A and B are shown apart, each in its own frame.
Chain A
Amino acid sequence: MCIKYAMPGTYIPINYLPVAIIMLISSLIGLGALVVGLLVRPRRPYAQKLYPYESGNPPIGDPRVPFNVKFYIVAMLFVVFDVEAVFLYPWAVAYGQLGIFGFVEMMLFIVVLLVGYIYVWKKGAFNWE
């Protein structure tokens, strides 16, 4: 990867070019498969065939059924823990240079998080009965 600056002042993130290309190719594979399927497959729809699957019966009621609020709690906890993980990654990479200071700092952070974690556990957010 020799070209970082094709012109003075014009930064081209060439390391990320293959990423853009692979995303392009994989979406072409996905869409291409759909197009080929569109060209070769038969199409004989009738009303009963187009029902959503409900074990052979005509569907009853609204398909968007009310669901357990636990799913929201899991989603919120995910945000909390994922943000924490995002703090951990750069810390882990730079740990060699941070030394004892970095260790103590991160332990404080983990302890704060742990308090919240124990609170959530005691509140029963992880129980699915």
Chain B
Amino acid sequence: MSLTGIIATLPETLVIFLKTFIAVNILMLHIAYVVYFERKVIGHMQARLGPMRVGWHGLLQPIADGVKLFFKEDIIPSSADKPIFYIAPVIGVVAAISSLAVIPMWDGFSIADLNIGLLYILALSSIGSYAIILSGWASTSKYAFIGSLRSAAQVISYEIAMGMSLVGIMLLAGSASLSDIVTAQQGGVFNWFIFKQPLAFFVFVMAAIAETNRAPFDLPEAETEIVAGYFTEYSGIRFGLFFMAEYAGMFIMSAMAAVCFLGGWSGPIPGVPGIVWFLFKVYGFIFFYFWIRATLPRYRYDQLMSLGWKLFIPLALANIVITGLVKIL
């Protein structure tokens, strides 16, 4: 690109930079409070109060936790593969947060309205599995190694089911852009794709839970079997980065569910701003995550893999065929 070209686009670049910076920081705040939300919800479901000490009803707890992680000693095994060990959590964070770029938050606003938005999110979630496998490999610890293998196999298996369940959405919307998908669901609650694609929604929800390594599919970090899985050897703020990536991934998957199946920023009551509907749906879905975690016991690894390959992939394929057939008739 020539110099004049760069100068001509400089003001716009600056605006985009500021917009992105603000959006990412708001996301970080949301992630911090999703952790608080989880501890409160799980606490109350187990007849406890959850965090109560730091601030009013523990409201400053996430900040205290964050500060604490910065001040923790960083212990790296002496046999670890240092450069890879350093870079793995950063890859995880970049892959998780960058997915935010294509999410349409209200009418006409997303950081980058790509026409391949869905593909972009699926691609980034694949890159996230690099963080898992590299961290397990670099730790030179048996628990971390086994955890990363399990996790990588799980993530790629469920990624297929997730990708195929979203094909039905693309068939109906005729586009892979997330804002087009929301536009295709306008005009009443019954135009939401959850009613037209219930099977795809089911597969998507299960795959999203497995993809983000959450209970009941949290095999990679099954404490009773392999300590903490792939981040066993990570401590201090490096552990914090993995934690951040996990919750960011959860937020993005909830946003995907809201956008692809629940009508995104559209809502049944006129006059309410789109961002309110969007956040309401996202937090509803996040609550569902916690509810599932508090309710269901963990799957066994062989059950998990056969569930993915023998049930969800055929279901997603059948959904594609049915959707194609219905659309042609």
Chain A residues in contact with chain B, CB under 8 A?
1, 3, 6-7, 10, 12, 14-19, 21-23, 25-27, 29-31, 33-34, 36-38, 40-45, 47, 49-54, 59, 63-65, 67, 70-71, 74-75, 77-78, 81-82, 85, 88-89, 92-93, 95-96, 99-100, 103, 106-107, 110, 114, 117, 121, 126-129
Contacts and interface: CB of A to CB of B under 8 A. Distances in A.
Most buried by B among A18, A67, A106, A110: A18
A29 B301 contact: no
20 contacts: A3-B12, A10-B2, A12-B1, A12-B9, A17-B9, A18-B111, A23-B94, A23-B98, A25-B97, A27-B94, A30-B241, A34-B90, A42-B71, A51-B78, A53-B232, A54-B141, A63-B79, A78-B160, A106-B324, A127-B302
Nearest to A111: B321
A59 B310 CA distance: 38
A43 B236 CA distance: 12
Contacts of A16: 112, 114
A63 B78 CA distance: 13
Please classify how large the interface on chain B is, using the bins under 10, 10 to 19, 20 to 34, 35 or more. 35 or more
Contacts of B20: 18, 21-22, 25
A62 to B, nearest CB: 9
Interface in B289-329: 301-302, 305-306, 309-310, 313-314, 317, 320-321, 324-325, 327-328
Contacts of B143: 53-54
Interface stretch (B42-50, B171-179, B208-216, B252-260): B171-179
A36 B302 contact: no
B233 interface: yes
Contacts, number: 232
B2 to A, nearest CB: 6
